């Protein structure tokens, strides 16, 4: 009887355990000149962010940070966080990671990916990757 109760308790504990989707979100973004894209369309807390220009890109990529109520534009003072060099035909270009010290963001509750934007030259591509905060 005790063995059966222990089995039921173990089964309930496993059923109650949280389940999450893959914590790593990665996608390729294709740019349209003059149109920045939010890293996430809604509030999305993450531990880290990586943006890297892919091989074959021809223009500068921009990483921007702005309140979701504002439009991200690389010509707006105070929004540019990084300018990324284009890739070559055979190698990726510049990259940006946030934070440089992951403990700082992890301990403070993460960073909202909806505040981050990327922008670049039409047809250029970049990889955008972030680690969801659970």
Q: CA 3 to CA 111: how far, in whole Å? A: 46
Query: pLDDT digits over 97-118, tens only?
Result: 998 765 655 556 789 999 999 9
For 43, the token pair is: 């509030």
CB 45 within 8 A of CB 112: yes
Q: Could you tell me which residues are beta bridge partners of residue 129?
A: 26, 50
Looking at residue 90, its pLDDT comes to 95
Q: pLDDT class for 76, splitting at 50, 70, 90?
A: very high
Looking at residue 99, its pLDDT comes to 85
Query: pLDDT digits over 4-40, tens only?
Result: 554 544 444 444 444 555 689 999 999 999 999 999 9
Which domains does the chain show, CATH number per domain?
Answer: 19-132 (2.60.120.10)
Instruction: Name the average pLDDT for the chain.
Output: 85
* Total-model pTM: 0.80
Dihedral of CA atoms 87, 91, 50, 42 in degrees, nearest 10, equals 60
CB 117 within 8 A of CB 52: no
Looking at residue 8, its pLDDT comes to 42
For 108, the token pair is: 């403070």
């Amino acid at each position: 009887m005790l063995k059966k109760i222990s089995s039921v308790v173990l089964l309930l504990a496993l059923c109650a355990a949280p389940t999450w989707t893959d914590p790593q979100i990665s996608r390729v973004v294709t740019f349209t000149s003059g149109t920045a894209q939010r890293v996430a369309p809604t509030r999305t807390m993450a531990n880290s962010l990586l943006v890297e220009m892919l091989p074959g890109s021809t223009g500068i990529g921009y990483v921007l940070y702005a309140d979701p109520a504002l439009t991200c534009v690389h010509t707006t003072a105070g929004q540019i966080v990084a300018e990324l060099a284009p890739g070559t035909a055979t190698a990726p270009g510049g990259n940006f990671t946030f934070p440089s010290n992951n403990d700082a963001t992890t301990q403070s509750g993460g960073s909202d990916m909806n505040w981050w934007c990327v922008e670049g030259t039409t047809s250029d591509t970049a990889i955008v990757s972030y680690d969801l905060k659970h």
